[in-house]
Amino acid sequence: MHDAGKRLVKNSSGPLMSEVKSIAQLGDLPKGLSFFDPILHHEAKEALEADGEVYVHESPEGLKNGLFIYDGYEASGTIFTKSKEVFDHFYPLKPSSYIFSEYEAAEHPKEIWNIWQLDVDKAPLNHRFKHDVSMNHNVEEIERFMTLTQPETNRKWISVALRNGEKCFVVRIANKIVGMAWMTIVDGMARSHGLYVEPQFRRMGIMRDNLQARLIYLKSRHVHTLINEISESNTASSSHASKAGEKIVGKVFLYTTGP
C-alpha cells in the first residue's frame, strides 16, 4: 500500500518529504549529506528497529538531499542536510525536541558541539592500564547502568545496538559497572558515544583506560578514524579528548525546538 512511504509534503515545485518505514525502502544515500555519511545508513537502521522515525527529502530531480532521524522516546533527532530549504522542512516536524544538525540556522538559538577526531594509527600503544576494561554484551546489565545514569536513553536501543554490531566498553570496580562508552564501527570509521563515568569515580583515569581499550580494538580491526561529538561547554570531556590527541574537525549544532 505504502510502497513509496507515507507522503507528508509535496509542494508545487516538486520537492518531497517522505517517511521511510523500512531500511530497504531507504535505499542508498548519496555522499555529501553529512560528515557522518559512512554511518548514516547504520543510524537509520537502528532508529527504525528501536521504534524511531526516519524521513527523507528529495529534490525535484529525485535526488536525496536530506535525512531526518528521530527518536520519540528521547525526543531528540538529527537533521542531515546541506540545504536550508530541507532543514526548514524538517525542523517544525518535531516540537519540544532536541534537534542536532550540521546545518547552521542563523534564526534559531543553538548550542555548539565540536566534532573531535583521532587518527587511530597514530595513537601510541604504550599506555599502562589502571583499570580492567571489557566489552559487555549483557543487555540487562547495560540497561540497569544506563537507566540510572542516562535515563533519557531509549532502552529499546540497547539490544538493537548490540545486534547491529555496536560495541559497549565498560570498566568495573568491585564487579559493578562504573564507566561506559559505546562505539559504532562502519567500514573504516568509528564513532564513540554515550561516554559516562559515575561521579564518585571520575578523574581516576577510567575513561582514559576505556579509550585505550577501544583504540587497541580499533587497531585490530584496521579502523583508522575515531570521531565523537562533545558540547563546547563540556570542559571535562573536551579536555579528555584534547589530552588524548583528538582534534576538532567540524561542528554540530544542537537546537531546542519550541512548543
Interface contacts to ligand COA, rule CB under 6 A: 179, 195-197, 202-208, 230, 234-237, 239-240, 243
By the 10 Å C-beta count (0-12 exposed, 13-18 middle, 19+ buried), 162 is classed as: middle
Our CB check for ligand COA shows the closer of 83 and 234 to be 234
Our CB check for ligand COA shows the closer of 31 and 128 to be 128
Q: What is the CA radius of gyration of the chain?
A: 19
Q: How far is the CB of 100 from ligand COA (least distance, A)?
A: 13
Grouping H, G, I as helix, E, B as strand and the rest as coil, residue 75 is coil
How many Å apart are CA 15 and CA 84, to the nearest integer? 13
Our CB check for ligand COA shows the closer of 11 and 233 to be 233
Our CB check for ligand COA shows the closer of 41 and 208 to be 208
Q: Are 160 and 42 in contact (CB under 8 A)?
A: no
Q: Return all residues near 91 (Cβ < 8 A) that are at least 6 apart.
A: 79, 99, 105, 108, 255, 257
By the 10 Å C-beta count (0-12 exposed, 13-18 middle, 19+ buried), 62 is classed as: exposed
Q: How far is the CB of 118 from ligand COA (least distance, A)?
A: 14
Q: How far is the CB of 248 from ligand COA (least distance, A)?
A: 13
Our CB check for ligand COA shows the closer of 50 and 230 to be 230
Q: How far is the CB of 233 from ligand COA (least distance, A)?
A: 10
DSSP states along 127-166: ---SS-EEE---HHHHHHHHHHH-TTS-THHHHHHHHTT-
Q: How far is the CB of 102 from ligand COA (least distance, A)?
A: 17
